[in-house]
């Protein structure tokens, strides 16, 4: 979920979050923009600018996922604060991304996409020089299936085994704007710099009961069961996601944490070598996105393969698709970032509270 991606990007000491752009996806653009402002406020990083991006795909109507994340995109908690700072009104999201990335030294900046790829595709189509300038692009999106990994991809009643999470074939972010995705994966400059974090990887990282216990309490006060407002907020979001994921996909161990993995893989590339991702010693892939077919709420038409990501081996210059990671270390990194939030919010006068939750 995007909230954990922002947490990791804003609080890991090796990263400098330059800004956030919002896009249509799990909820409407109005909701995703409000959610971004609320999460930045909850994390006390209101200084980070955020922009409203595209409200719809290139050439399709927007689709949302209220059955997974609720109508607002962040249902399940009453702890979300109102945004302390509004989104930037006098700037364009695509131009803001271009300016922020080009202001960094060549070959250093990363762009991380955790939603529909409309903003990102518009950036590279409008300003192709950015493709050459950045170090990398990390995308949470896509699903391979067919035993690419051993991750549990879930079952939907009446459908049996599947590897998509919106249709039997397609992961939601790619499904939202398949034309945007195809424009990125077919870009010969950009593709070799791109990492695709698929459901085959994210479904290995489940927020189990043991994980929730680990994240629930402030590390230095765990024996006394002291928590914080931010930890309670993030736990409630996970519990809501766990409920919907179990109901829809039958994954009962805990919900997968998709989006922060797209940030975590950047850490691997900027020197956090203790957080290891397995790409089978450098295997690379050509990625083709199925764009034939319609978006539809009609189950009879969800058999269309629109949004499916089809891969073939690339001898060089292809997309990186990690097959595994050190899951325990990943959760340690998330806990470290939550602890930094605890320290920051306590120093700003925010109260730690006792919890009776077992």
Q: What is the pLDDT of residues 134-171, one digit of tens each?
A: 999 999 999 999 999 999 887 766 566 678 888 889 99
Asked if 326 contacts 275 with a C-beta cutoff of 8 angstroms, the reply is yes
Flag whether pLDDT at 356 surpasses 50: no
Residue with tokens 């203790």: 274
Tell me which residue of 88, 183, 101 sits closest to 135, measured CA to CA: 101
Looking at the chain, the whole-number percentage of residues with pLDDT higher than 70 is 90
First-to-last alpha carbon distance for the chain, in angstroms, is: 24
The verdict on whether 258 is a catalytic residue reads yes
* Over residues 199-225, mean pLDDT: 86
312 is written with which tokens?
Answer: 């073939």
More confident residue, 208 or 70: 208
Burial class (CB in 10 A: 0-12, 13-18, 19+), 253: middle
pLDDT of 35 strictly over 70: yes
Judge whether residue 211 has pLDDT over 50. Answer: yes
Q: Which of 24, 31, 258, 295 is catalytic?
A: 258
Integer Cα distance of 21 and 3 in angstroms = 13
Instruction: Give me the mean pLDDT over the 232-257 stretch.
Output: 89
Q: 159 or 29, which is more confident?
A: 29
Q: How confident is the model at residue 224 (pLDDT cuts 50, 70, 90)?
A: low
> pLDDT tens, 301-346?
555 899 999 999 998 789 999 999 999 999 999 999 999 999 888 7
| Amino acid 106: pLDDT | 98
**pLDDT confidence of residue 205:** 96
Does the pLDDT at position 10 exceed 50? Answer: yes
Question: Does position 218 have pLDDT exceeding 80, yes or no?
Answer: no
> What's the pTM?
0.93
Report residue 240 as tokens. Answer: 């809501």
pLDDT (mean) for 185-202: 97
3-state secondary structure the chain: CHHHHHHHHHHCCCCCCCCEEECCCCCCHHHHHHHHHHHHHHCCCCCCCEEECCCCCCCCCCCCCHHHHCCCCCCCCCCCCCCCCCCCCCCCHHHHHHHHHHCCCCCCCEEEECCCCHHHHHHHHHCCHHHHHCCEEEEECCCCCCCCCCCCCCEECCCEECCCCCCCCCCHHHHHCHHHHHHHHCCCCCHHHEEEECHHHHCCCECCHHHHHHHHCCHHHHHHCEEEHHHHHHHHHHHHHHHHHHHHHCCCCCCECCCHHHHHHHHHHCCCCCCCEECCCCCEEEEEECCCCCCCCCHHHCCCCCCCEEEEEECCCCEECCCEECHHHHHHHHHHHHHHHHHHHHHCCCCEEECCCC
Q: What is the pLDDT of residue 239?
A: 93
How much is the pLDDT for 270?
A: 82
Burial of residue 139 (CB within 10 Å: 0-12, 13-18, 19+) is buried
* Beta-bridge partner residues of 50: 20
Return the higher-pLDDT residue of 242 and 104.
104
Q: What is the mean pLDDT of the chain?
A: 90
């Amino acid at each position: 979920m995007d909230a954990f991606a922002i947490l990791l990007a804003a609080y890991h000491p090796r990263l400098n979050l330059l800004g956030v752009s919002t896009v249509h996806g799990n909820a409407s653009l109005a909701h995703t923009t409000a959610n971004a402002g609320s999460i930045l406020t909850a994390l006390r990083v209101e200084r980070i600018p955020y922009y409203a991006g595209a409200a719809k795909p290139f050439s399709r109507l927007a689709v949302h996922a209220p059955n997974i994340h609720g109508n607002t995109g962040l249902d399940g908690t009453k702890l979300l604060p109102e945004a302390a700072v509004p989104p930037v009104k006098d700037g364009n999201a695509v131009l803001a991304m271009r300016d922020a990335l080009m202001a960094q030294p060549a070959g250093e900046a990363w762009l991380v996409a955790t939603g529909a790829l409309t903003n990102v595709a518009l950036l590279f189509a409008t300003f192709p020089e950015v493709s050459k300038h950045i170090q990398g692009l990390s995308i949470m999106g896509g699903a391979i299936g067919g035993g690419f990994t051993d991750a549990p991809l879930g079952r939907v009643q009446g459908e049996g085994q599947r590897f998509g999470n919106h249709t039997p074939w397609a992961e939601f972010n790619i499904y939202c704007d398949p034309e945007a995705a195809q424009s990125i994966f077919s870009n010969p400059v950009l593709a070799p710099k791109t990492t695709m974090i698929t459901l085959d990887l994210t479904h290995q990282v489940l927020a189990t009961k043991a994980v929730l216990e680990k994240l629930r309490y402030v590390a230095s006060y765990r024996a006394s069961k002291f928590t914080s407002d931010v930890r309670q907020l993030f736990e409630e979001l996970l519990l809501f996601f766990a409920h919907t994921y179990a109901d829809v996909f039958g994954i009962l161990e805990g919900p997968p944490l998709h989006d922060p993995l797209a940030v975590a893989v950047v850490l691997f590339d900027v020197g956090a070598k203790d957080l290891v991702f397995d790409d089978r010693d450098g295997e690379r892939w050509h990625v083709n996105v199925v764009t034939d077919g319609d978006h539809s709420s009609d189950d009879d038409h969800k058999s269309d393969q629109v949004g499916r990501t089809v891969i073939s081996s690339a001898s060089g210059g292809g997309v990186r698709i990690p097959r595994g990671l050190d899951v325990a270390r990943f959760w340690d990194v998330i806990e470290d970032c939550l602890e930094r939030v605890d320290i920051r919010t306590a120093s700003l006068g925010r109260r730690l509270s006792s919890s009776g939750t077992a």
